[in-house]
Amino acid sequence: MDDRTGKILRDNLSDDNYAKLMRLANPKLHRLVADAVELCRPASVFVASDAPEDIRYIRSKAVEAAEEKPLVTPGHTCHFDGPNDQGRDKEVTKYLLKPGLDLGKHINATDREKGLAEVRGYLKDSMAGRQMIVRFFCLGPTRSVFAISGVQMTDSFYVAHSEDLLYRPGYEQFKALGDSQEYLCVLHSAGRLVDGVSADVDNKRIYIDLDDEVVYSVNTQYAGNTVGFKKLSLRLAIRKADREGWLSEHMLLVGIRGPRGRVTYFTGAFPSGCGKTSTAMLPGETIVGDDLAYLRKIDGEVRAVNVESGIFGIIRDVNPKDDPVIYAALTSPGEVVFSNVLVKDGKPHWEGSGRNLPDEGVNYSGPWRRGKKDSAGKDLPPAHWNARYTLRLAGLPNLDPHLHDPDGVAVGGVIYGGRDSDTWVPVQQSFDWTHGVITLGASLESETTLATLGQAGVRAFQPMSNLDFVSIPLGRYVKNHLDFAADLKKPPLIFAANYYLKGKDGKYLNGMTDKHVWVKWMEQRVHDELAAAKTPTGGIPLYHDLKRLFREVLDKDYTPDQYSSQFTLRVVENLSKLDRIEKIWRTEVADTPEVLLTVLAEQRRRLEDTRRKLGDYIPPSEFAPA
C-alpha cells in the first residue's frame, strides 16, 4: 500500500475498521476505498465483515436513519423513494467508453473521460456528514468456478441492507483473492437529502466504467439504480463472460417437477413485469433464482447458478391465489423490506393484493388520501405500480436445495417470454438451438411496464430480455449464444412463453395460473415424452396433452375452443413481427451474424407458404404432430 493511500485510510477509519480492511491484502481495494473517501468526504467509514454483529448494525442504522420504517409484522420495514426516483432510469445509465470503442446504436454510452469528470463531480463531498459503508459480496456460490467478488461503497443503509438480503456474504471470499484485481466495485451516494430522499434526481447519474470495472451511482436511492450488483454489474459480468466463453444472463432459474419425482431445471428470460418472478415461484416447484443467472459448460452439459440469494421483486398483483408462496412470506414474520407501497396502521398495501386498499395512508408522496393528485394533475395511486419487496430466498419453503451448489444445476430448457398481446401463442418450442436463439431469443419483444421510467404499453425490442444490459456489440452477444451450444451433444431445448395474448375482445386468453401448465408441458418435452404439432414458427402442444395437464396441474377443464383461440397461428402478426425484427438487425446492428438473417428469412418463407395454403389465421388442428 502506498503512503498516500495509507494516510487517507488511517486518518479516516477507526482502528477496528482499518484492521478489517487491512485483513484483505488487496492493494487495489485499498486504493479504491481511499479514493472514495477522499472524493465523497464521509464523516466516518464502516467496513462490514460477514460477522452477524456487522450485519445487525447495518439493519439497525437503516431504521435509526429513517431510511426504513418498522412495520407491525416483526422483521418488516418500509422504504420510500422520491416521487421521481421510482424506477431504473435508462436515459442516465451509460457506459463510459474510450474513444474508438463503439458498442452500437442500442447501447447508451458516453466518452469515458467526460463521463468520469461528470459523475465524480456529482460525487464530490456527497457523503459529508454521513457514514460510508464498505460491504463485500459474492455473485454466485462462494468458492466455485461461477463466483465473482464485489465491493460496494455507499452512504445508504437501506442500500447496504438490501444487498445483505440479496447477495451471499463476500468478506471471507475476498480474503482468498489476495492481490487479484478480478472483482467488481460499486460507488454510490444518495446525494443531498431532503425529507430523507434524494433531492437532486435531475442530476442522477449511473455510469459504468468498463475499463476499471467500477459502477458509479449518485443522486438516486431506487434500488435498481443503486444496488450495484443487480443489473449494473450484470453489464460487467457480460463482458467477463464474453472474454471467457460463458453466458451472463437476465434469467430466472427454476426446478420443475416431472413424472416419477424427476426435477428438470429451466432458465427463463422475461423483461420486468412479464411474469418472471411468478414463473420462478410456481407452487410445488423449486426456486433457484428469479432474476440473474450465470451459465457455463461443465463436463459436456450446460450448468447454471443464481447470481443472487434473494429477491427484489415487483409486488403489484402478488396475492394469495396467484402467488401463494411469496404472499405468505410477505405477510408472515421475517426480514422483508417493502418499498413504495402504501402504509396504513403499520401494514403495507399494494395494488392487486386481493385485499381492499385503504382510502388513506402514507406512500412515496407523503400523506396520501384517495383523490390526491400528482404534479401533472393525475390521481396518485395508493402504491406505486413499481412498488417492490426485498427478501432472502433462504426463508422460502420452496427453495431448491442446490441454490449454493458450487457446480450449479444442469439446464434442460431455456424459456424466452415477454408481454405480447397479439402475436406469440402461449407456449412453443423452437426447431433447434440456432432457431431458438434467433427467432425466440434475439427476436423477443415486450410491451413496456413501469419497472423502467417512461411510457408503459409500448412494444420494445428486447433480445434475450437483456438489451438494456448488453455491454458488448449486440451481434457478438447473439453470436456468443449461437456458439455456446456448438460442442454440446444435447443442448437445452428452447421455448417461448407468452402469458399476455389477447382475443379480439381485448381480454386475455390465458388465466394467471395457466403458466404452470405451459412449463409442465415443457418439462415433458425436454424428456421427449410428449409430441408437438409442427407450425411454421415452432412446435406447439397437442390438445389432448393440454387437457390432461390442465386437469392434473390446476384441476381445471380445458376446452377445444380455448385451445383453438390460444394456439391459432396469427400469420399476419407474425409476418409484421418479422418485418420489425429483420429491419432492426439489418439496419441498426452493424455486426449482425449472417445466419441470423438467414434463419429469419427461412421463417418468413414458411409463414408465407402456409398463408397461401391455409389463410391468415390458422387453427392448431391444421398442424400435424411432427
For cell 485510510, the residue is 9
Burial class (CB in 10 A: 0-12, 13-18, 19+), 115: buried
Q: In what order do the strands lie in the sheet with 69-70?
A: 69-70, 76-79, 336-339, 388-392, 310-314
The type of residue at 520 is K
Q: How many residues does the chain have?
A: 626
- Interatomic CA distance for residues 558 and 216, integer angstroms: 51
Using DSSP, state whether 625 is helix, strand or coil: strand
- Interatomic CA distance for residues 499 and 216, integer angstroms: 36
Could you give the angle at the alpha carbon of 186 between the alpha carbons of 214 and 231, nearest 5°? 90
463: cell is 433480445
572: cell is 399476419
What is the enclosing helix (H) or strand (E) of 539? strand 538-540
What is the enclosing helix (H) or strand (E) of 39? helix 27-40
| Three-class secondary structure assignment of 495-532 | EEECCCCECCCCCECCCCCCHHHHHHHHHHHHCCCCCC
Q: Which residues are bridge partners to 266 per DSSP?
A: 254, 413
- Interatomic CA distance for residues 336 and 359, integer angstroms: 24
| Three-class secondary structure assignment of 100-131 | CCCCCCCCCEEEHHHHHHHHHHHHCCCCCCCE
What is the DSSP pairing of strand 263-269 with strand 360-363? unpaired
Residue 556 CA: distances (Å) to CA of 256, 515, 525, 548, 595: 20, 13, 21, 9, 43
Using DSSP, state whether 302 is helix, strand or coil: strand
Alpha helices per DSSP H over 459-593 = 474-484, 515-526, 543-549, 560-567, 571-587
Torsion, Cα of 483, 484, 488, 494 (10° steps): -100
Alpha helices per DSSP H over 105-230 = 112-123, 157-166, 171-175, 223-226
- Interatomic CA distance for residues 510 and 497, integer angstroms: 11
The type of residue at 151 is V
125: cell is 463531498
Burial class (CB in 10 A: 0-12, 13-18, 19+), 111: middle
Say whether 274 is catalytic: yes
- Interatomic CA distance for residues 148 and 139, integer angstroms: 5
Residue 578 CA: distances (Å) to CA of 348, 443, 518, 571: 44, 8, 24, 10
352: cell is 392487486
Contacts of 375 (CB under 8 A, 6+ apart): 83
Active site residues per annotation: 274
